[in-house]
Amino acid sequence: MFSLSGIRRWSRDLYATIVKIRSGSRRTNPRLGRLPFKIIPMAYIQIRSFYKTSRRALSLLIAFGMTACSPGFDLSKLSSATPAPEQPSTPNEPVPDPGTPTTPPREYQLPRIAWETKSGARNWSLHAYRVILDKGASLLEGADDVVEYCPLYYRIIKEERAWFWTSLIAAMAYYESAWEPTARMHETTMGTDPVTGQPVYSEGLLQLSYQDRLGHAYCNEFDWNSDRHLSAKDPRKTILNPEKNLSCGIQILNRQIRKHRKIGIGKGAYWAVIKTTKPSNKIERIKARIKAEVPACYVESQSRS
């Protein structure tokens, strides 16, 4: 065990050694020659008080002596250095994924659709467009035969895809109802509508029925209890409301695409106009209307090329 008197003697010896090293190294290392002589007595005083509580004082003194003797040590910088101001902590900023575009997509200018020649029909277009963007995930994903209707479908942006489906819906509505919101047709082969208790009628822009609300929860805006007191073609009927009719029809088509992965199908098609097994289908005419209304499907934009 080391005594305090032993440390005192060791300190004096260390001091003398540092003086010799400093005088011998003044030529090769001028900075070492500037070592303050008072540093050892100061260290001794501090270590004397510290030694009473810790035996590690001796190790600290030895480490200090070895550091002071090192050629690259400059105590003048140590005494004049000022601590760097503490930087306020900030939360880590998320690092953007290099593969993710950092700029928002360009605004898509919605073209006009042929049914907009009718009064108020621009609202139909915009409503259908929003419903497809919000609830038409399967439509936006595409179908196995979608390139037959829109050759550049998988190269166009989401907004253009939504407008393609809007055009397709409008084309289907033309051949279903001639774009007449109050159109009705008696379905002679479909029996009785379980909701109305009357013969099944297809009604509105997309020729839907009250019974659709039973198999499609998203058609629950058709309210027969409110409509039963109105005349058959009263535009106040919920099923004849263009926006409600479109909302229901778009989601029926969305589910049909999700299930069959095709636009034109045979068994399971809700609408005869896109039923491949029906000779009177309007598939080719629908394609022609889309080509005229959605140029993005056929002409590649320079901003994407």
> Domain extents for the chain?
4-73, 114-297
* Partners of 201 in the β-ladder: 186
Whether the predicted pLDDT of 166 surpasses 90: yes
CA distances from 158 to 3, 35, 112, 116, 217 (A): 83, 73, 18, 22, 26
CB-CB contact of 246 with 205 (8 Å): yes
Confidence of residue 215 (pLDDT cuts 50, 70, 90): confident
Tens of pLDDT along 123-151? 999 999 999 999 999 999 999 999 999 99
Q: Which helix (H) or strand (E) holds 16?
A: helix 4-24
Across 67-95, average pLDDT: 47
Closest CA to 201 of 187, 181, 191: 187
Confidence of residue 110 (pLDDT cuts 50, 70, 90): confident
End-to-end CA distance of the chain: 83
- Asked whether the whole model's pTM tops 0.75, one would answer no
Amino acid residing at 151:
P
Q: What mean pLDDT is predicted for residues 21-26? A: 50
Confidence of residue 152 (pLDDT cuts 50, 70, 90): very high
